[in-house]
Amino acid sequence: MTLRLAIFDCDGTLVDSQADIAQAMEAAFAAHGLPAPPRAAIRRIVGLSLTEAIRQLVPALDNAATAALVQSYKDAFRARRSAGVVEEPLYDGIAALVAELDAAGWLLGVATGKSDRGLAHVLERHGLSGHFVTLQTADRHPSKPDPSMLEACLAATGADRTATVMIGDTAYDMAMAVNAGVRAIGVDWGYHHPDELREAGAAAVAGSVDELRQLLKALEA
């Protein structure tokens, strides 16, 4: 029996976290007396590791200043979580899709720019932890589009590249899939335009969770 592996991005694919990320980023910049980037710019970097995200937002910062801003972002996000104001809602239909894929025999993984702690919180909050067999985060890997996270998913599950799909909402996800030699499927409810996903290597872009379901079912044949 062929092992089928579906690897999901988290932010912008499983959950809509843009408001929480933007508010934590704004608090981090304020802590250093810096003007916050426009929210449109912050949306663009969702999915990257924090260090790479800050470098893209403010390329002129040196390494020490970048590291300080990264820490301030982490502190701001943790403070918001402790205060109970972090929402990160699941997109409609995602929980059902994940459960269906698991029941159908798919191996499921996550490859995300989040930290281990952040990803664990999201999955536990939404009751999804038991469905995923491999979780790869920015804590242990280079930033997307480096294929390291996907290589780790493949190694952990024993799945073949030809039976593996990466599902995400950004060009970083699609390029990571291409770099790892696995199929890339984009979703259009996240943070990058569908045209960007196709240009980065998406074999298809789902316009809804049901369309994503059909695309994955087609791979089962």
Tell me the percentage of the chain whose pLDDT exceeds 90. Answer: 98
Could you read off the pLDDT of 98-121 as tens digits, one per residue? 999 999 999 999 999 999 999 999
- Using alpha carbons, select from 182, 176, 175, 173 the residue that is nearest to residue 154: 182
Asked about 11 being catalytic, the answer comes back as: yes
Place of tokens 């993984």: 109
Per-residue pLDDT, 184: 98
Q: Which of 9, 16, 169, 173 is catalytic?
A: 9
End-to-end CA distance of the chain: 12
Of 3.40.190, 1.20.120, 1.10.3470, 1.10.150, the CATH number of 18-82 is 1.10.150
Could you read off the pLDDT of 120-171 as tens digits, one per residue? 999 999 999 999 999 999 999 999 999 999 999 999 999 999 999 999 999 9
Asked about 9 being catalytic, the answer comes back as: yes
The CATH number given to 5-16+88-220 is 3.40.50.1000
d(CA 164, CA 5): 5
Could you read off the pLDDT of 180-198 as tens digits, one per residue? 999 999 999 999 999 999 9
CATH 1.10.150 residue ranges in the chain?
18-82
Residue 1 confidence (pLDDT) above 70? no
Q: Chain-wide mean pLDDT for the chain?
A: 96
b/e 99-108 (16+ beta carbons within 10 angstroms → b): eebbeeebbb
CATH 3.40.50.1000 residue ranges in the chain?
5-16+88-220
